[in-house]
Amino acid sequence: MIRSGAFASATAAQAAAADRQAALSAAELCERYAARVHQFATMVASNDVEAEDLAQSALERALLGLSSFDPAKGEVEAWLWRIVVNVARDAGRAVKRRQLLLERLGRLRGSPEMLGDVPPGVDNQQLLSAVRALTPLQRSVVALRYGADLEYRAVGDALGISSGAAAVAAHRALKALRRKLLEDER
């Protein structure tokens, strides 16, 4: 049986968390998330100009919807990333990758997840081409995980899947990326 005091304190904690999320101002939303939204946008857009447009559109849509955000339906960050992903999809940019992805993917070579799996001699352009050959879901997972630097839980929230499914999707995306790089090497 739950004690009324424990229930009251849990309810009070939930209410306080909801107030913090509901009280998020437009300025706070931009300050907290604009850089990460832009980083994601640069990864899914084909060039920097498109990335700027995508990031601006996503933040604009979030700002317009901020007053109707319902903290009872989930965290503000998950809500925001769903908007960002949907704006990218709506714009048809989720299938494109950015110039800056080359730098980010180049760093994957030293990542524990990719360590030793990028064949020697693969340049950044080949790596980018291999990412572009992935399925839309795989590209989105790579963009969210490595471009926006999100944890699997946040990747899953943005894509409407569980964190476990996001981790599996990331594993499969990296496996497909390795396979594509090895095919291209032959």
pLDDT tens-digit series, residues 90-110 = 776 344 433 445 555 655 555
Backbone angles phi, psi at 150, to 5 degrees: -90, 150
* 9-26 mean pLDDT: 56
Q: Do residue 111 and residue 57 come from a single domain?
A: no
CATH number, domain at 38? 1.10.1740.10
CA 132 and chain centroid, separation: 16
Domain boundaries, position 43: 25-90
pLDDT for the residue 165? 95
Structure tokens at 33: 């998330």
**Domain end (from 90, 125, 143):** 90
Task: Tell me whether residue 161 is in a domain.
Answer: yes
Rounded CA-CA distance 66/58 in Å is 12
pLDDT tens-digit series, residues 19-62 = 444 567 889 999 999 999 898 888 877 778 888 988 999 999 99
Q: Do residue 67 and residue 141 come from a single domain?
A: no
Q: Do residue 139 and residue 82 come from a single domain?
A: no
Structure tokens at 103: 């730098």
pLDDT for the residue 77? 85
**Residue 2 or residue 167, greater confidence:** 167
Task: Tell me whether residue 5 is in a domain.
Answer: no
Please enumerate in sequence order all residues whose Cβ is within 8 A of that of 184, keeping only pairs 6 or more positions apart, or say none.
122, 126, 129, 130
pLDDT tens-digit series, residues 114-172 = 434 566 677 777 777 788 888 888 888 988 887 777 889 999 998 999 999 999 999 89
Q: Do residue 113 and residue 74 come from a single domain?
A: no
pTM for the model:
0.47
Task: Tell me whether residue 10 is in a domain.
Answer: no
pLDDT for the residue 152? 92
Structurally, the chain folds into a number of domains equal to 2
